[in-house]
A and B are shown apart, each in its own frame.
Chain A
Amino acid sequence: MSTLDPASGARGGLSRGLRVRPGDLIFRLLTLAAAVSVVALVVMIAYEVLKQAWPAIQEYGLAFIWGDVWDPIKGVFGAWTFIVGTIVSASFAILVAAPLSIAIALFLTEIAPKWLSGPIATLVELLAAIPSVVLGLWGILVLGPVLESTIEPWLIKWFGWIPLFSGSPSQVGMLNAILILTIMIIPIVSAITRELFLRVPKELKEGALGLGTTRWEAIRGVVIPYCGPGIVAAIILGTGRAVGEAIAVSQVIGNGTSISRSIYAPANTLAAKIANSYQGASTKLEGESLLYLALILLVLALITNMAAQVVIRRAEKRGVL
C-alpha cells in the first residue's frame, strides 16, 4: 500500500506537467485506430465479396439482376425472384410498422400517464431483444396456423378481388415473413421516434395548445412536422433491418423458387437464399452466383443507409435536428 500510493501520485503529477499528455495521445491513437479499422473492415468485406462474385459477374453481367430462374441443376442463375422478395417483404413490413411505431411513440410521450409509459416503453424495446431465430419459431408454430385458419381466409373474403390478396391460405409465405419483420422493426422505429418526440420543446406544444388547438391538432401541426425528417430516417433504419434479416425470414417465408402474385404464397429473399444455399453449393458457378446475390444485398443495404444519411443531413441543415 505504502509503496503504491506515492508512485501513482508521482505518475499523475508528471503527466499533468507535460504539454502533450501521453494518455491523451494514446487515447487519440486508439480511437483513430478503432475508427479506421471499421472503415477498413467494410472496404475489405466489399472487396472480398466483389472478388469472389467476379466470375459470376463476368458470366452474367447485369442480366443476372433480372434473371428470374435459379436452377442449380441446369446451371442457370438469376437474382430477380430474390430481389423482388426482399423489396416486397421489407416495404410491406415498414408500411405496417411505421404507423404503428409512430402511434406507440405518440402514446408514450403525449398521451400515456408517466406510470404507464415507462413500463410500456421497456416492453416494446424488449421486443428487440428477442433473437430472430426464436421469433422465426414463433412464426412457424403460432403465427402460421393463425394466419392460415383465420386471418388469410378473412382477407381473401373481403379483399380477394385485389390480385395481391387472392390465392389460397398458407402457414408459411410472404405474409408471415412481413409480419415477423414488422415485429422486428417496431422496437427500432418506435424507440427512435419516441426520443424525437421527447425533444420537441415544451413551449412549442404549449403555444399551440394556448392558441386553442386540440391535442390531436397540436400533434399533427407541431410535433410531427418538427420531427418529420427524423421519423423518415428512423423508418429507413428499420427498412435496413428488414432487408438484411436472413434466419427468421428463411424460417417463415416458405423458400419459394418463383415470384407469386399472392401475398400468402411462398417467396424468398436475398438474405434467406444465401443463408439456405451457401453451404454445399453444387457447382463453382452456384457459389459465385450466391456471392453475386450477396453483393446485390450489400448495395441495397448501402442505398437504404445512405438515404437515411441524406435525409438526416438535410434536416440538420434546416436546423430541425
Chain B
Amino acid sequence: MFTRHVNRWKLGALGILAISAVVAGVLASAASPASHRTAATKITGAGSSFVFPLVSTWIPVVGSALGIDLTYASVGSGAGIAQITARTVDFGASDAPLTADQFSACKGCVQIPWALAATSIPYNLPGLKKQVKLTGPVIANIYLGTITQWNDPQIQKLNPGLTLPSTKITPVYRSDNSGTSYNFTDYLSTVSPAWKSKIGVGVNANWPTGVGGKGSSGVAGVVSHTEGAIGYVDVAYALSNKFQVASVKNKAGVFAQPGLRGIAAAAATIKKVPANNELHIVDPPASQKLAYPICTFTYVILPTSSSKAADLRKLVFWALTKGQAYGPKLLFVPIPKVVLASSEKTLKQVQS
C-alpha cells in the first residue's frame, strides 16, 4: 500500500514537473517576440469610456509606428482623474474638464483636448416612423419633470407632422459619475435658466425625476427596454446600438443631427482657447447653421513632470495629428486647427 502511494506521489510530481516545463516553454516562446521589439516603452492610461473606441484603434498603430506599447483602461472619466492624480497611470482621460479641486489635487497636471464628439438623445417610441425633433428647453423640462407625456403641447408643437402617443416619458440618466452627464448638464444649463438654477453642471446631479442606469450600457439598457424612455449617450454608442436619436434645434433655428457634419460645424465656432484648455461648445453661436448643440471635447490629462515625458509627448502629438484620421469612422471629428495649436503648446510643458 505505502509503496504504491509513494509511486503515485512520484508520478504526480513528475507529471507536475513535465507540465510546468511545457508551460514555461510556451510562455518563453510567447514572450520572446515581445522582447524582440527592442525596448518598446510601456505607456498606460485610464479614464473616459467615451474616448475608448478611438484609443483602442490607436493602440496597434502606435505600437508599430512609434514603438509605444500602449494600454488603456476604460474605467470612466472620474476614475481616470483619480488614477492620474495618484500617478498609478502615465496619463488620464476625461470628458469633463478638471475642476479647480481636481487640478490642485493632481499637483502639476495639464489637460489637452484630444478628441471631439457628440452626446445624442436616444428615445424609445416604437410606433413612430419619423425622427422626433426637440429643443434644449424642452429636454430640460423633460428632465426637470415638468413635461411628463410625449404628446405634451411643447413637444407636439415642434413635431407638426407627427402623431405623438400619450405614453409617459421616462427620463434616463447616468447613475455613475460621467463625462457624458457633464456634457449633457452643461448643455441644459446653457439653454435653460430653470435647469441652471435648480440643478447645474456636473458629472452627476441631483436628478429631479427619472431612472438611473450605470454606464452608457446601463442607460442604453433602460432606454431600449422601456417604452417612452429618453436618454443621453455618446453618439457612437447610440449608432452601434441602432437607437433612434432626436434632432436638436440649434441657435440658428435648425434641427441638427448628431453626425460628423453637425459636430464639425459646432467645433468650427471656436475662435480662441483659454490657457487651461477648458472648452465649451454646447449651444454654439448661430454662425454655423448645421452645428449640433450637444458636443464636447474630451481631454487627455498629463503630468507636467514624468520619467516618460518624451514618449508621452510623442504619443499625444501623434494622437492630435495622425491619430485624428481614425476618428470619423467612430463619429469623432478631427479637432480644429486653433485647438490643435493650443494643445501642441501645452504639450511642451510635459518634461522629464
Contact = CB atoms under 8 A, between A and B. Distances in A.
Given A4-B6, A145-B225, A282 B168 contact: no
Contact of A277 (B105, B176, B225): B176
Contact of B212 (A71, A254, A280, A283): A254
Interface in A159-180: 168, 170-173
Interface residues of B, number: 42
A70 B225 CA distance: 27
Nearest to B221: A140
Interface in A251-293: 251, 254-258, 266, 268, 276-277, 279-284
A266 B200 contact: no
A14 interface: no
B105 to A, nearest CB: 7
Interface in B223-259: 225-226
A74 interface: yes
A171 B222 contact: yes
Given A140-B225, A280-B78, A281-B78, A170 B206 contact: no
Which of B77, B185, B202, B208: most chain A Cβ within 10 A? B202
Contacts of A282: 78, 99, 101-102, 177, 202-204
Contacts of B315: none
Contacts of B76: 279-280
Contact of A72 (B2, B203, B225): B203
Given A1-B6, A171-B222, A73 B205 contact: yes
B230 to A, nearest CB: 14
Given A71-B206, A171-B226, A257-B206, A281 B177 contact: yes
B170 interface: yes
Given A1-B6, A172-B222, A279-B76, A72 B212 contact: no
A24 interface: no
A280 B170 contact: no
B175 A71 contact: no
A299 interface: no
Nearest to B202: A73
Contacts of B176: 276-277, 279-280
A203 interface: no
Interface in A59-113: 69-74
Nearest to A172: B211
A318 to B, nearest CB: 47
A170 B202 contact: no
B175 A276 contact: yes
A141 B203 contact: no
A239 interface: no
A255 B213 contact: yes
B177 A71 contact: no
Interface string A229-269: 00000000000000000000011001111100000001010
B270 interface: no
B201 interface: yes
A144 interface: yes
Residue among A70, A141, A255, A268 with most chain B CB within 10 A: A255
Contacts of B199: 73
B75 interface: yes
A277 B204 contact: yes
Contacts of A171: 222, 225-226
A279 B78 contact: yes
B225 A144 contact: yes
Nearest to B182: A282
B336 interface: no
A280 B203 contact: yes
A254 B208 CA distance: 13
B24 to A, nearest CB: 28
- In the A-B complex, the 8 residue pairs with the smallest Cβ-Cβ separation, listed nearest first, are A280-B78, A255-B212, A255-B175, A71-B206, A73-B200, A73-B202, A280-B177, A279-B79
Interface of A: 1, 4-5, 69-74, 140-141, 144-145, 148, 168, 170-173, 250-251, 254-258, 266, 268, 276-277, 279-284
25 contacts: A1-B6, A4-B6, A69-B206, A71-B205, A72-B177, A72-B202, A140-B225, A168-B168, A170-B170, A170-B211, A170-B226, A171-B225, A250-B175, A250-B214, A255-B175, A256-B211, A257-B206, A276-B176, A279-B76, A280-B76, A280-B81, A280-B178, A282-B177, A282-B203, A283-B99
